[in-house]
């Protein structure tokens, strides 16, 4: 597998209204240089300009859109948010004709890929990574009987915000970020498969993956891809923790987003131990990322195509 070395000035992007944006290859290469200042044996098995991650791009300015669509040339956007998140965001892309004039509402459970203005052939894949099996199998299964009774009562009365607050306060307070991430691996396999599959098609690149803040759900998808490529665990953890800096200017907004959810403040942070424990869980349960991906329906052949695409596909800006 070819190794890529990126220079310090490579692939730096500055946006007006998009937070936590980075080229994953550049991010990993930067961490590798920091860990090995002499440069001996430097190289990462992923090419630049192929895999990008960010917080929600809904508020992109005209300058931001110009950079995304022309300088970077994003062809596919994988949006991992739920319908409720999109409804709660007044500036959601589903109401922004610049970003989604032909994609329709993001506030759906659909996984259809639709063409997206203003760039011909650009696609958007909408997946709620917090799928029904996670919600009812993991979250409901992790709750005590009193909490379950509350959730059922609120659900029957259509009180969605009360459901979220109860789950945040009485379930996620106990399981923490590592429990949340391991729960995604265990119970959101179907949704993770849908998010990973686009990487097996050459015509989809470059690809941008995002959720609301580009931290949790985005972090899981990126970590799985990097693990599949054989990137060192500590470099994967470094990329995850860069969200601390990437979202620094949005901390107050993140706190506002969490108001009324009952979620612990830990969920605002991106502590390295959370991703380290998640990777450890995956290795203890499935031995390798390849075996995990096979267990959720991503075949060896598809994995091989993903590896080939991320390591040998040339993209010209």
For residue 240, count CB atoms less than 10 angstroms from its CB and return exposed for 0-12, middle for 13-18, buried for 19 or more.
buried
Mean pLDDT (the chain) is 84
- Considering only residues 162 and 97, tell me which one the structure prediction assigns the higher pLDDT: 162
pLDDT, position 3: 45
Q: Return the pLDDT at 275.
A: 98
Segment 199-228 mean pLDDT: 97
Q: How far is CA 298 from CA 59, 241, 313, in A?
A: 33, 27, 20
For the chain, how big is the Rg over CA atoms in Å? 19
Counting Cα atoms < 13 Å in the Cβ hemisphere of 155 gives: 11
- State phi, psi for 16 to the nearest 5 degrees: -80, -45
| Lowest-confidence pick of 70-74, 274-278, 303-307 | 70-74
pLDDT exceeds 70 at position 236: yes
Q: DSSP class of residue 260?
A: T
H helices within the chain, ranges in order?
24-35, 62-66, 83-88, 97-100, 132-133, 140-142, 145-156, 160-167, 173-187, 189-196, 216-229, 233-241, 243-246, 251-258, 272-286, 289-295, 300-312
Burial class, 120, CB count within 10 angstroms (exposed 0-12 / middle 13-18 / buried 19+): exposed
Q: Is the pLDDT of residue 98 over 60?
A: no
Q: Is the confidence at residue 115, as pLDDT, over 60?
A: no
Element (DSSP H or E) covering residue 46:
none
Q: Do 107 and 82 contact (CB within 8 A), yes or no?
A: no
Calculate the CA dihedral of residues 76, 82, 85, 88 and round it to 10 degrees.
100
Q: CA-CA distances (angstroms) from residue 80 to 38, 42, 71, 278?
A: 38, 33, 24, 19
pLDDT on residue 36: 79
pLDDT at 253: 81
pLDDT at 200: 97
**pTM, entire model:** 0.85
Task: Give me the CATH topology for the region 22-312.
Answer: 3.90.190
pLDDT at 241: 97
> Which two tokens mark 223?
């970590």
Q: In the chain, what are the domain boundaries?
A: 22-312
Cα 265 from Cα 143, distance rounded (Å): 20
Sole residue written with tokens 């992007």:
13
Say what angle helices 24-35 and 233-241 make with each other, to 10 degrees.
Answer: 110
Q: Is the pLDDT of residue 116 over 50?
A: no
Please give the Cα distance from 182 to 184 (Å, whole number). Answer: 5
Question: Above 90 in pLDDT, residue 300?
Answer: yes
Q: Is 210 in a helix, a strand, or coil? A: strand
- The whole-number pLDDT of residue 12 equals 73
CA dist 246 and 18 (Å) reads 10
* pLDDT over 50 (residue 261): yes
The residue with greater pLDDT, 35 or 167, is 167
- Residue 237: pLDDT above 70? yes
Better-predicted residue by pLDDT, 78 or 315: 78
Q: Does position 112 have pLDDT exceeding 50, yes or no?
A: no
Using the predicted structure, report yes or no on whether residue 44 has a pLDDT greater than 90: no
What is the Cα 306 distance to its own chain's centre?
17
Q: How far apart are CA 77 and CA 95, in angstroms?
A: 16
User: pLDDT-derived band of residue 121, with 50, 70 and 90 as boundaries?
Assistant: low
């Amino acid at each position: 597998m070819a190794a890529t070395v990126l220079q310090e000035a490579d692939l730096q992007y500055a946006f007006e209204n998009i937070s936590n944006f980075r080229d994953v290859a550049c991010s990993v290469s930067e961490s590798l240089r920091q860990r090995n200042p002499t440069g001996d044996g430097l190289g990462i098995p992923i090419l630049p300009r192929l895999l990008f991650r960010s917080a929600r791009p809904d508020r992109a300015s005209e300058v931001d859109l110009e950079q995304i669509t022309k300088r970077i040339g994003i062809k596919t956007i994988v949006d991992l948010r739920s319908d409720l998140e999109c409804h709660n965001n007044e500036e959601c892309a589903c109401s922004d004709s610049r970003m989604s004039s032909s994609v329709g509402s993001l506030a759906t459970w659909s996984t259809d890929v639709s063409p997206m203005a203003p760039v011909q052939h650009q696609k958007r894949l909408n997946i709620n990574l917090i799928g029904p099996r996670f919600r009812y199998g993991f979250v409901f299964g992790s709750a005590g009987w009193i909490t379950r009774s509350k959730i059922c009562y609120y659900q029957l009365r259509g009180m969605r915000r009360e459901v979220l607050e109860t789950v945040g306060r009485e379930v996620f307070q106990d399981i923490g970020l590592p429990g949340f991430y391991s729960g995604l691996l265990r119970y959101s396999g179907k949704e993770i498969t849908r998010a990973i599959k686009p990487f097996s098609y050459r015509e989809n690149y470059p690809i941008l993956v995002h959720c609301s803040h580009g931290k949790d759900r985005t972090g899981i998808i990126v970590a799985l891809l990097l693990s599949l490529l054989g990137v060192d665990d500590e470099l994967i953890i470094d990329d995850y923790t860069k969200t601390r800096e990437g979202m620094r200017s949005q901390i107050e907004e993140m706190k506002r987003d969490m108001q009324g959810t009952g979620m612990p403040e830990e969920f605002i942070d991106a502590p390295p131990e959370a991703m380290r424990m998640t990777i450890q869980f995956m290795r203890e349960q499935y031995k390798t990322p390849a075996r995990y991906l096979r267990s959720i329906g991503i075949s060896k052949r598809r994995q091989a195509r993903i590896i080939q695409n991320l390591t040998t596909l040339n993209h010209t800006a």
